[in-house]
Structure 1
Amino acid sequence: MKYDLQALRGDVLGGITSAVVLLPMALAYGVVSGLGVIAGLYGAVAVGLFASLFWGTKALISGPTGPMAVAMAVVVGSYADNLGEAFTIVILAGVIQIVLGVIKMGRYVAYTPYSVISGFTSGVGVIIVLLQVLPFLGASSPGGGTVGALRAMPAAFGDLNIHALLIALVTLGVTIVWPKRMQRALPPSLAALIVGTLLGVLWLTGAPLIGDVPTGFPDMVDTHTVLNHLVSSFQPALILALLASINTLLMSLIADSMTRATHKPNRELVGQGVGNIFSGLFGGMPGAGNIPATVVNARIGGRSPLSGVLCSLVLLTLVLGLGRYVGEIPHAVLAGILMKVGWDIIDWKFITRLHRVQREHLVVMVITLGLTVFADLLSAIMLGLIVAALVNARQFEYLELDSVISVPLLDISFLAEEEEEDEDADEFDLLADNLLNLLGEDEDDDDDFDPFSARCGLLSFRGSFTVASSNRMFTTISVDIRDHEVAILDFSDTDYMDDSATSQTRMTPRASLWALEVQLQTACGNCTFSTRSPTIATWKTWTEPRKWPSESLVSERRVAPGRTAPLLIRFKGPQGRRSCSEATIEGPGQPRVFSRWRYSPR
């Protein structure tokens, strides 16, 4: 990559501006996490620095995010009895992220359906808004997550702090109406932080403040504390690691769309993991890719790791030099900023077009959103993925079943005997005579001859077949098979069959009352059908000898009840797909040659 003065200028401006954008959010997310504002700043420095050094995604700025703040609040409230245990969970989450990157699990996040992503992000936005109602009114957060905040709201409205409410309203108003022409020089969140803090210091002094904040370099967490809580910390650490990984890689996709680059998901996971390890060691909250800071960095021109490193160094300088002033910030200021952040996180674009969204995708989104708000984040994602998979399977069922082609093969064309023909004879008469000879009947006894009889049927499996259609395919093709004395299963155009579709295909002959045992050894192509009776044949090309005893292939026209019919199967040959008109029919007994049939695979 060419690096010149223009690229350097973009990285420097992008890094400094991103730090300005990230500062108020780091303070606010630190409060939401339950670890305090300084934990948000430490997390922004550590995660942003090491994630940038590994450079898995161009222009990505990492730090505290809404989902990670909410997840950490759950961890602090439900799993950690003290701060040492909480930071142990953060460290172990970083280790798990490194493992996920090493075993190359990063690419699978791209398979997450949009309805699940929309429900999850919207749920996080709703949680942030609900949790900030109490600080917005001047009350302290009681804990207990969303449910605890809802229960405490009536009391908070009854004991309203008017100073805090005014500061929060002004702060929220600044984030909404701040002029666009000034946003590049001074981001709305930073402008709101300055205006709200000045109001609290100079005029509305009755609002609760953040209070004392540690200054200087942080102390490392006691290693003995970390080792003592490793086993009990695994479950919440796994939750944090999965959420951080999903959050980061989704943000990487957004960054790719802005930089027209392709991120390296596994390297990004390793970098995020290292950053979260150091964040936990120095008392910081976990982090992931931060949307607002990344967008600002990409728009200004930041592309290399320098922009992310510079962003972290600027934040570190602010922590060391201005840490003593952070304690003068009212809680209501951060509540006003977070109200706007939570509102923006909600996927209003999806919500406003719900009336045009398919009902199945709407159900997935609502389930994921509801579980995110009232249950826990990991359960919301997992159940959302399961429901989305079921919905997609139902849609693919119809598409896959449409790829099964059932073709009746007329006796007059498929079973006619190949012999010397009279040039002056009528073609239909010749075919009829050949068919009568095949069935061993008198040529003169043709009063009952049916030119439209089709005792042979072909089932062509074209495309891919999965668990989505396996059950319906079993019942559908069984009916077609039972309607014919001879069934030909054509797998020459089959691209893929998963284990479920293969298993159902193996069960098909039994469902058709045939004495066959069919086994598909691979998804498609080199498949093997084994049988206990001589009523099955396989072939790979259309050019091999076409031999089968007529008495084994078809019965008399008046079929005896319960007669066993043969099953003919075709696969892809060594030369790939062929479009030939001759079929190989091989079996025991004396050979008999059949004429060319009219079916031609695509």
Structure 2
Amino acid sequence: MKNLFANVRGDITGGITAGVVALPLALALGVASGVGPMAGMYGAIAVGFFAALFGGTPSQISGPTGPMVVVLAGLFASLSGDVELIFTAVLLAGLFQILFGFLGIGNYIRLVPYPVISGFMSGIGAIIIILQIGRLLGHEPPGGTLGALGYIPTALADINFATLALGIGTLVIAYKWPPSLGKYVPGALAALIIGTIVSLFITNVPILGEIPTGLPSLHLPTFESSTLLLVLEAAFILAILGAIDSLLTSLVADNMTRTRHDSSKELIGQGIGNTVAGLIGGIAGAGATMRTVVNIRSGGKERLSGMVHALVLLAVVLGLSPLASAIPHAVLAGILVKVGLDIVDWSYLKRAHSGPRWDFALMLLVLGLTVFVDLITAVGVGVVLAALAYVRQIAQLQIEELKKIPDTLNDPKENALLEKAQGKVSIFSFGGPLSFGAAADLGHHVREWVKPGSRVLILDFSRVPTMDVSASMAVETVTSDAKSSGRQLMVCGASDKIKEVLGNINASSAEILTYPTLLEALESAVSIIEDSGKKSQKHDGSSTLSHA
């Protein structure tokens, strides 16, 4: 809490701006969930305040989000509109998230690669702009990105030029607001105030309109045996979606503020917020990308901004709604178009052609899925594809390293033994962790590259810190091949971990000779070859005497 008042002026202006932007979203998402507009407001207040107070991303603004509302709407239909059970699911989702935080599950979200984050950010920017086009033209488009896109021709056929001028004017003010004045009043907030004042002199401009008010009541959790499984399942899905949504937004906030969030602390904060939301009759929330970006762009940096955002919404609930009700949709649309343009990762798009094509293709794929499907699918597909590409890349490097069968070795003693073996020893050296990606073709490549006439195969694990079950099974295949072709398999340089995996998984481990170093393995190999040669000579001598 030591940084709570480190950026008071910026946090207050950022929080106020984010609060005003969050207002129509909270109302709309509350309605979309089926529980009502005030549930959206209470959820935005509870999650917004407590996630900011206890969370691990200081600049993050939390509240109701699209993915969460989709789950709540489905639950509302399944429970025939029983709001008490819905609030119970929200509360349980919060408790799940607190548990996730203590278990450190959030650390895995940090592994999302940059092209996926870039595509996600640009996709969010595109969605924000698409959703505002209809409002700039004086209409209220249907929900969803596809609905808003499909509605554009209709809006273009009946343009409200007053709202269009108001929206464009707001956008211009937000962009061109002097930096010297921006220290005192951020451009977005100035555009909001000026645009709203101007709209008072214009007729036929859609405004937010009447906003309901009132204090929340306490909603204690209720459980029914017939619906318990359904409520628990919905709560778990809400917790997972909320965790992903929040931590992805945290990554965006990190990217914008050049800071690093605490993922475990963030999940605990989000969990506390959702638990309180369930108790006061609010819908579930998560870190909201658009509102977070509005906050940061308006000067918000510390957790005070998220708390101010929640207090602005609380003030509206407690009776300041007449002031907020006069804000035109076109003014908010103008501000949000700027936000959308700012989110798009222009810097990467400009340089993408000079980087790896696969990364750029992945970024475009994630962008498209974010816009036309949903955020969770986009990130899930992006992470899986990025992981598979990485495994393939590492596997190729491991296989290339394996192909380098040495004719000479750096150590003089090892080199002398290798020469003494007269080409009857093949050494395969592995570089780095031996993964399942390389294991798939390991046996095939060893068969293909082994020296003709080799009597001994040596697998050098001295540079392998870890190996998985797939790699161990591949070694078993190599062992079987060696046995069937009359060759002895040796393993050298394996750590205790590697030996344990080989011993536990590999059924042929008893037939593998293991040595601490390559030198000892070569000494043994030369000894085996010499013994074999002597036996062969003795056999030839016996055959000659018998023939005589």
TM-score (norm 1): 0.72
Answer whether contact 1:214 1:324 (CA < 8 A) is retained.
no
Answer whether contact 2:467 2:501 (CA < 8 A) is retained.
no
Q: CA deviation at 1:55?
A: 4.7
Q: Which sits farther off after the overlay, 376-385 or 221-230?
A: 221-230
**Residue in 1 that maps onto 2:26:** 30
**Residue in 1 that maps onto 2:406:** 407
**Residue in 2 that maps onto 1:489:** 459
CA 1:157–1:8 in 2, change beyond 3 Å: closer, same or farther? closer
**Residue in 1 that maps onto 2:295:** 293
Q: CA deviation at 1:173?
A: 2.1
Q: What amino acid is the match of 1:465?
A: L
**Residue in 2 that maps onto 1:149:** 148
**Residue in 2 that maps onto 1:444:** none
- Counterpart check, 1:476 vs 2:445: yes
CA 1:20–1:230 in 2, change beyond 3 Å: closer, same or farther? farther
CA 1:233–1:325 in 2, change beyond 3 Å: closer, same or farther? farther
Give, in whole Å, the separation in 2 of the partners of 1:257 and 1:486: 54
Give, in whole Å, the separation in 1 of the partners of 2:210 and 2:91: 26
Answer whether contact 1:94 1:276 (CA < 8 A) is retained.
yes
Q: What amino acid is the match of 2:468?
A: D
Q: What amino acid is the match of 1:363?
A: A
Q: CA deviation at 1:125?
A: 1.9
Match of 1:19 among 15, 18, 22: 15
Give, in whole Å, the separation in 2 of the partners of 1:226 and 1:26: 34
Question: Counterpart of 1:403 in 2: which secondary structure?
Answer: helix
Q: How does 1:366-515 map to 2 (within 5 A)?
A: 366-404=364-402, 405-408=404-407, 453-481=422-450, 483=452, 484-512=454-482, 513-514=484-485
Q: CA deviation at 1:271?
A: 0.8
CA 1:221–1:8 in 2, change beyond 3 Å: closer, same or farther? closer
Answer whether contact 1:459 1:489 (CA < 8 A) is retained.
yes
CA 1:338–1:229 in 2, change beyond 3 Å: closer, same or farther? farther
Higher gyration radius (CA): 1
Question: Counterpart of 2:339 in 1: which secondary structure?
Answer: helix
Answer whether contact 2:490 2:521 (CA < 8 A) is retained.
no
Greater relative CO (CA pairs within 8 A, separation 6+): 2
Give, in whole Å, the separation in 2 of the partners of 1:316 and 1:208: 24
Q: What amino acid is the match of 1:537?
A: L
Answer whether contact 1:403 1:463 (CA < 8 A) is retained.
no
Match of 1:71 among 62, 67, 87: 67
Question: Counterpart of 1:463 in 2: which secondary structure?
Answer: coil
Question: Counterpart of 1:488 in 2: which secondary structure?
Answer: strand
Q: How does 1:133-532 map to 2 (within 5 A)?
A: 133-143=133-143, 145-200=144-199, 202-220=200-218, 231-232=229-230, 240-252=238-250, 263-280=261-278, 281-283=280-282, 286-288=285-287, 290-294=292-296, 302=302, 308-309=306-307, 312-313=310-311, 316-317=314-315, 319-404=317-402, 405-408=404-407, 453-481=422-450, 483=452, 484-512=454-482, 513-514=484-485, 524-526=498-500, 528=502
Q: Which sits farther off after the overlay, 243-252 or 355-364?
A: 243-252
Question: Counterpart of 2:139 in 1: which secondary structure?
Answer: coil
Question: Counterpart of 2:208 in 1: which secondary structure?
Answer: coil
Give, in whole Å, the separation in 1 of the partners of 2:20 and 2:521: 76
Q: CA deviation at 1:111?
A: 0.5
Q: What amino acid is the match of 1:212?
A: E
Gaps of 5+ in 2: 540-548
Q: What amino acid is the match of 2:332?
A: L
Question: Counterpart of 1:154 in 2: which secondary structure?
Answer: helix
Give, in whole Å, the separation in 2 of the partners of 1:43 and 1:31: 10
Q: What amino acid is the match of 1:524?
A: I
Q: Deviations over 1:529-580 (max 9, x none)?
A: 678799742222556995645565558999x9xxxxxxxxxxxxxxxxxxxx
- Counterpart check, 1:94 vs 2:64: no
Give, in whole Å, the separation in 1 of the partners of 2:219 and 2:226: 12
Give, in whole Å, the separation in 1 of the partners of 2:522 and 2:451: 27
**Residue in 1 that maps onto 2:542:** none
CA 1:242–1:185 in 2, change beyond 3 Å: closer, same or farther? farther
Give, in whole Å, the separation in 2 of the partners of 1:533 and 1:11: 63
Give, in whole Å, the separation in 1 of the partners of 2:365 and 2:255: 28
Q: CA deviation at 1:170?
A: 1.9
Give, in whole Å, the separation in 1 of the partners of 2:191 and 2:284: 23
Give, in whole Å, the separation in 1 of the partners of 2:225 and 2:48: 26
Answer whether contact 2:106 2:263 (CA < 8 A) is retained.
yes
Answer whether contact 1:462 1:495 (CA < 8 A) is retained.
no
Q: What amino acid is the match of 1:111?
A: L
**Residue in 2 that maps onto 1:110:** 110
Answer whether contact 2:42 2:277 (CA < 8 A) is retained.
yes
CA 1:550–1:208 in 2, change beyond 3 Å: closer, same or farther? closer
**Residue in 2 that maps onto 1:127:** 127
Give, in whole Å, the separation in 1 of the partners of 2:127 and 2:73: 15
Answer whether contact 1:486 1:553 (CA < 8 A) is retained.
no
Answer whether contact 2:213 2:318 (CA < 8 A) is retained.
yes
Aligned length: 513
Q: CA deviation at 1:108?
A: 0.7
Give, in whole Å, the separation in 2 of the partners of 1:355 and 1:261: 28
Q: CA deviation at 1:52?
A: 3.4
Work out the percentage of aligned pairs sharing the same amino acid: 35
Give, in whole Å, the separation in 2 of the partners of 1:226 and 1:316: 32
CA 1:408–1:29 in 2, change beyond 3 Å: closer, same or farther? same
Q: What amino acid is the match of 2:127?
A: I
Answer whether contact 1:33 1:285 (CA < 8 A) is retained.
no
Answer whether contact 1:54 1:267 (CA < 8 A) is retained.
yes
Answer whether contact 1:458 1:487 (CA < 8 A) is retained.
yes
Give, in whole Å, the separation in 2 of the partners of 1:337 and 1:176: 9
Q: CA deviation at 1:499?
A: 2.1
Give, in whole Å, the separation in 2 of the partners of 1:506 and 1:229: 50
TM-score (norm 2): 0.79
Give, in whole Å, the separation in 1 of the partners of 2:86 and 2:331: 26
Question: Counterpart of 1:141 in 2: which secondary structure?
Answer: coil
Give, in whole Å, the separation in 2 of the partners of 1:184 and 1:226: 55
Q: CA deviation at 1:393?
A: 1.7
CA 1:306–1:156 in 2, change beyond 3 Å: closer, same or farther? closer
Answer whether contact 2:30 2:41 (CA < 8 A) is retained.
no
Q: CA deviation at 1:269?
A: 0.3
Q: CA deviation at 1:272?
A: 1.0
Q: CA deviation at 1:185?
A: 1.4
CA 1:475–1:55 in 2, change beyond 3 Å: closer, same or farther? same
Q: What amino acid is the match of 2:514?
A: T
Give, in whole Å, the separation in 1 of the partners of 2:324 and 2:170: 16
Match of 1:10 among 2, 6, 13: 6
Q: What amino acid is the match of 2:61?
A: S
CA 1:285–1:193 in 2, change beyond 3 Å: closer, same or farther? farther
Answer whether contact 2:12 2:308 (CA < 8 A) is retained.
yes
Q: Which has the higher helix share?
A: 2
Q: Deviations over 1:213-260 (max 9, x none)?
A: 122423456855999976546666555544443343345456668888
Give, in whole Å, the separation in 2 of the partners of 1:86 and 1:182: 46
Question: Counterpart of 1:492 in 2: which secondary structure?
Answer: coil
